[in-house]
């Protein structure tokens, strides 16, 4: 199997499992580092490289962003969907407005 195809499988199947519900919890820098190391180890094995700088370049080339950036994108998507849903969106907006009024 071609390495780029394996990366696509990693992005389609492994990343969603690794990052399941990451948008609903606050990950520590240590946890983000561990998740990045998992991805880095996969890239090491897929492309058979031994240099950290090479792994960083490969991740940039194939679109494997830093985990913190991926989680941030997932959080934004989650919040957009929450606001777009009428039931939860209204509740969310009402709660955020009431919190601001008490501040």
Could you tell me the residue range of the domain that residue 31 belongs to? 3-102
Express each pLDDT in 36-59 by its tens digit. Answer: 999 999 999 999 998 889 999 999
83/71 Cα distance (integer angstroms): 18
DSSP-derived letter for residue 25 is S
Decide if pLDDT at 11 tops 90: yes
Prediction pTM value: 0.75
pLDDT tens for residues 72-103? Answer: 999 899 888 877 777 666 666 676 666 555 44
Task: Determine whether 43 is exposed, middle or buried from the number of CB atoms within 10 Å of its CB (0-12, 13-18, 19+).
Answer: buried
Helix axes 86-102 and 67-84, enclosed angle (nearest 10):
100
Domain count, the chain: 1
């Amino acid at each position: 199997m071609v390495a780029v195809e394996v990366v696509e499988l990693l992005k389609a199947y492994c990343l969603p499992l690794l990052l399941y519900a990451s948008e609903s919890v606050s990950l520590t820098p240590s946890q983000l580092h561990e998740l990045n190391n998992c991805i880095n180890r996969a890239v090491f094995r897929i492309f058979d490289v031994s240099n950290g700088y090479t792994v960083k370049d490969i991740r940039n080339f194939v679109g494997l962003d830093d985990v913190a950036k991926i989680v941030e994108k997932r959080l934004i998507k989650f919040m957009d969907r929450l606001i777009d849903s009428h039931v939860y969106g209204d509740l969310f907006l009402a709660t955020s407005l009431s919190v601001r009024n008490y501040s």
